[in-house]
Amino acid sequence: MKRVIIDKKKCTGCGICVQICPYRAIRMTEKKAEYILDECFLCGHCQAVCVVDAVRIEVLESTLGLATVREMTEVVQPGQYDTVCLVNLMRSRRSCRKYSGTTVALSLLEDLVKIGTTAPSGTNSQGWNFTILSTRDDVLSLGEMTAEYFRKLNKQAKSRVLRGLMKIFGHDKLGHYFRNYHDSVAEALKEWDEEGRDRLFHGATACILVTGKHCASCPAEDALLASQNILLAAHAMGLGSCLIGFAVEAMRRTPEMRKKMMVADDEQVYSVIALGYPAVAYARPANRMSVTPRIYSEHH
Ligand SMILES: Cc1cc2nc3c(=O)[nH]c(=O)nc-3n(C[C@H](O)[C@H](O)[C@H](O)COP(=O)(O)O)c2cc1C
């Protein structure tokens, strides 16, 4: 069954859809565009580029269906957006480590997920999936499971025998963890256990887990690009956010955690995004170390 339908009556034969199709799924037949395959990767470029609206792809939604943000139908053409504002937004997003405790509306979290899906994905697989934790209790539940994973890991890493054995077999991962993380994790766990201080999620009231399907061509890249969209949109919407790598590590290595978080067997976790209303305002945007790119033509 053809998944891209071209209305020959509307088609003016301009051929632009043929030129931009990355799949070579469209050709010109008697001065009209014709979709010649049964399926392609449904990127929707043919539909988006057609000025007379002659292309229909049923599986693609015409809007994101956002509940808390107005959606525009106009395309921002290259060069039309305010770069100064965009760069400033990017520099103003910081990892938030102090939240007010106010709950984030579920509708807002759902919108963030939808905004995440505007990211590019390898061969347009869109093989991402998301789990939303919308209450502080949900976040604490993930926090406790993460803490439990690190309690066990710290115990193993503390064992000189185990570290030595692993090194003999060519794995110094446990030794590396012991040297670099053991003490700070032990301190954070002590504070979590004895004072209820949350140095993992920093008091966030919500969380979005971003997963990718094993079968996708680039699951990690897809999930991380969607994550960056979520981080930027969250900032624009007044939320603070922080990627929590410790929780990703724990979930990757603990099947029960993935099960509890409804992550399917054919998915991997790529990011855990803590969210909430920030309790601290920054006075200046992010400063970064300077980077000097290698210019190919200067060396060839
Ligand atoms: C993959 C990844 C994992 C991270 N994990 C954590 C984490 O577990 N806890 C935390 O507080 N920050 C975490 N961060 C946030 C970084 O520390 C932060 O991005 C970096 O210091 C730059 O600061 P900025 O995000 O405020 O610009 C993580 C960031 C990335 C990209």
Q: How far is the CA of 244 from the centre of ligand 1 (A)?
A: 7
pLDDT score of 99 more than 80? yes
| pLDDT attached to residue 1 | 73
Q: Is the CB of 243 under 6 A from ligand 1?
A: yes
Residue reference for tokens 């670099």: 180
pLDDT score of 231 more than 90? yes
Q: What is the mean pLDDT of the chain?
A: 96
Question: What is the atom index within ligand 1 of the atom nearest the CA of 200?
Answer: 9
Q: Collapse the DSSP code of 56 into the 3-class scheme (helix H, G, I; strand E, B; otherwise coil) and give the result.
A: strand
Looking at ligand 1, which residue's alpha carbon is closest to its atom 8?
A: 244
Q: How far is the CA of 246 from the centre of ligand 1 (A)?
A: 10
- Can you give the residue ranges of every domain in the chain? 5-56, 78-285
pLDDT band at 189 (very low <50, low <70, confident <90, very high): very high
Which 8-state DSSP code applies to residue 216? S
Q: What is the pLDDT of residues 266-285, one digit of tens each?
A: 999 999 999 999 999 999 99
Q: What is the pLDDT of residues 100-146, one digit of tens each?
A: 999 999 999 999 999 999 999 999 999 999 999 999 999 999 999 99
Distance separating alpha carbons of residues 167 and 189, to the nearest angstrom: 26
Q: What is the helix, strand, coil percentage profile of the chain, to 5?
A: 40, 15, 45
Looking at ligand 1, which residue's alpha carbon is closest to its atom 9?
A: 244
Q: What is the percent of the chain where pLDDT is above 90?
A: 94
Contact between 163 and 175 (Cβ < 8 Å)? yes
| pLDDT attached to residue 39 | 84
Residue type, 97: R
* CATH match of 5-56 with 3.40.920.10: no
Question: What is the atom index within ligand 1 of the atom nearest the CA of 247?
Answer: 8
Q: Which of 192, 231, 243, 287 to mutate to test the pocket of ligand 1 (most atoms within 8 A of CB)?
A: 243
Q: Is the CB of 199 under 6 A from ligand 1?
A: no
Distance separating alpha carbons of residues 197 and 143, to the nearest angstrom: 11
Q: What is the pLDDT of residues 245-256, one digit of tens each?
A: 999 999 999 999
Average the pLDDT over 219-241 and give the result. 98
User: Which CATH number does the domain 78-285 belong to among 3.30.70.120, 2.10.240.10, 3.40.109.10, 3.30.1360.170?
Assistant: 3.40.109.10
Q: What is the pLDDT of residues 73-96, one digit of tens each?
A: 999 999 999 999 999 999 999 999
Q: Is the CB of 220 under 6 A from ligand 1?
A: no
Q: Please give the C-alpha separations between residue 199 and each of 9, 42, 49, 100, in angstroms, as whole numbers.
A: 62, 43, 48, 15
Average the pLDDT over 166-194 and give the result. 93
Q: Is the CB of 242 under 6 A from ligand 1?
A: yes
Q: Is the CB of 184 under 6 A from ligand 1?
A: no
| pLDDT attached to residue 170 | 83
